[in-house]
Amino acid sequence: MSAQIPDTVAVDGTEHDVVAIDGGPLFDPAGHGIRPAPLHTGCYRGFVCAYTIRDRLFLHALTLGSGATAEGAPISARATLLGGELAAGEDGEWTAAT
């Protein structure tokens, strides 16, 4: 079995792999109407998150496999669905921050 692609977090401009999480997942695609599909054998879960830290943790990019759907609609192969800096709002939706 191949190693799986890790999520990453950028701290002060340096990127680090996320290898363990104490608690629940940082980002749950299903909670946002996204159904992932495997990218390849190195990513069976079907998504890879890139986070950055400023005053708090932000989801910077979400990469999905070609069979992924959002709200039931297909997403193009290995597209980056979310770009820029995103923060969870009080209502649980992701909002772009400029």
Residues 6+ apart with CB under 8 A from 23: none
pLDDT digits (tens, 9 = 90+) for 21-57: 888 788 998 888 889 888 778 888 888 888 988 788 8
The yes-or-no verdict on residue 81 having pLDDT over 90 is no
Q: What is the pLDDT of residue 7?
A: 93
Residue 84 and residue 29: Cα distance in Å, rounded? 17
- Asked if 94 and 86 touch (Cβ cutoff 8 Å), the reply is yes
Residue 78 and residue 58: Cα distance in Å, rounded? 21
CB-count burial class (<10 Å; 0-12, 13-18, 19+) for 3: exposed
Q: What is the pLDDT of residue 3?
A: 82
Q: What percentage of the chain exceeds 70 in pLDDT?
A: 74
